[in-house]
Amino acid sequence: MDFAIDVRNISKSYGDVVALGNVDLQVRSGSVMGLLGPNGAGKTTLVRILTTLLRPSSGSATVLGYDVVRHARHLRSVIGLAGQSAAVDDLLTGRENIQMAGRLYHMPRKQVQKRAQELLEQFDLVDAADRSVKGYSGGMRRRLDLAASLVANPPMIFLDEPTTGLDPRSRLDLWEVIRNLVSEGTTVLLTTQYLEEADQLADEITVIDIGKVIAQGTAADLKHQAGSEFIVITVREAEEAKRAAAVLEKFADNDECEINEEDRTASIMVQDGASIMVQVVRSLDAEGIVVANMAVRQPTLDDVFLALTGRTAEEAATESEPTEN
């Protein structure tokens, strides 16, 4: 089978630090792969290897059929990369940034000008096009960086944490842009720390942790591994959380209810929260427990992580440097 990305047993070490250990990854042409993992998991390292900016210590990988080491020069000319920190030049205008990217791809001047205008329109940057990037917001910088990486119409694009640090509105805007790309047939590999983002955009998700692939599948597969959904009940008085928990436990898949007294919440893991919500509320009511708020929460990366590794993504990110194993 023909894969847009085919990674075979790639490892990368920085001195004693194993950033990637024996990673395998296949991405179908025209699909979106979400590479999901906490800080330090090795996401950027893999993106840098696949975009020829870094050589693997061992193993091999092809992108669009080109070997990332042997065909590096050619490969660079057919892919786009929007790196983790937007690589835009503050001294230039938005338009000039895109045009500069076009020249790096050796595109003819006329064609670059036309393409820049097209991208500025597509990314809603027309009004700011001829202003210096210095005054751009974070969301505008991300959009510009993405626009510049698309100047040569690459069939394959790498997005390293495209929405980290953006406000919710800008994040939604960028998701829309990425969806449009995909609908035009572009293959996308994007990294993210948010299950929700992978959920929204990716056809398939690869979860990595300390340089290792720990799970692979659709968003639904991963959520299933994390134990589906959560019902979260907020009570009026902190003292009532324990009493609520006694009621809620009976509905939980694992007969357990987690209490957070500070937030006045009690939460349980269930298969289908919406279907039993009414019963849950009735039971609480029958015990005279006043409910201030209730919600069905989808599993987060943390839940998936916890289920797969026994620790939270935050704990994983603050762990000491990874060591060889």
Ligand X SMILES: Nc1ncnc2c1ncn2[C@@H]1O[C@H](COP(=O)(O)OP(=O)(O)OP(=O)(O)O)[C@@H](O)[C@H]1O
Contact positions vs ligand X (CB under 6 A): 14, 17, 19, 37, 39-45, 84, 193, 321-322
Indicate whether 163 belongs to the interface with Mg ion (CB under 5 A).
Answer: no
Indicate whether 51 belongs to the interface with Mg ion (CB under 5 A).
Answer: no
Contact residue for Mg ion among 6, 18, 19, 44 (CB under 5 A): 44
CB of 41 to Mg ion, least distance (A): 8
> 135: exposed, middle or buried (C-beta count within 10 Å: 0-12, 13-18, 19+)?
exposed
Binding to Mg ion in span 52-91, by CB under 5 A: 84
The values of phi and psi at residue 304, to 5°, are: -60, -45
Indicate whether 99 belongs to the interface with Mg ion (CB under 5 A).
Answer: no
CB of 83 to Mg ion, least distance (A): 9
Residues 6+ apart with CB under 8 A from 84: 44, 160, 161, 164, 191
Tell me how far apart the alpha carbons of residues 64 and 80 are, in angstroms, rounded to a whole number: 12
CB of 214 to ligand X, least distance (A): 13
Residue facing Mg ion at closest CB distance: 44
**Piece of 39-47, 110-118, 231-239, 308-316 that binds Mg ion (CB under 5 A):** 39-47
Residues 6+ apart with CB under 8 A from 153: 115
Indicate whether 193 belongs to the interface with Mg ion (CB under 5 A).
Answer: no
Indicate whether 97 belongs to the interface with Mg ion (CB under 5 A).
Answer: no
List the beta strands (DSSP E) in the chain.
3-14, 17-28, 32-36, 58-63, 66-67, 79-82, 156-160, 187-192, 204-209, 212-217, 229-235, 258-260, 265-270, 291-297
Q: Which is nearer to ligand X, 97 or 193 (CB)?
A: 193
CB of 206 to ligand X, least distance (A): 12
Tell me if residue 209 falls in helix, strand or coil: strand
Indicate whether 300 belongs to the interface with Mg ion (CB under 5 A).
Answer: no
CB of 53 to Mg ion, least distance (A): 13
Using CB under 5 A, list all residues that contact Mg ion. 43-44, 84
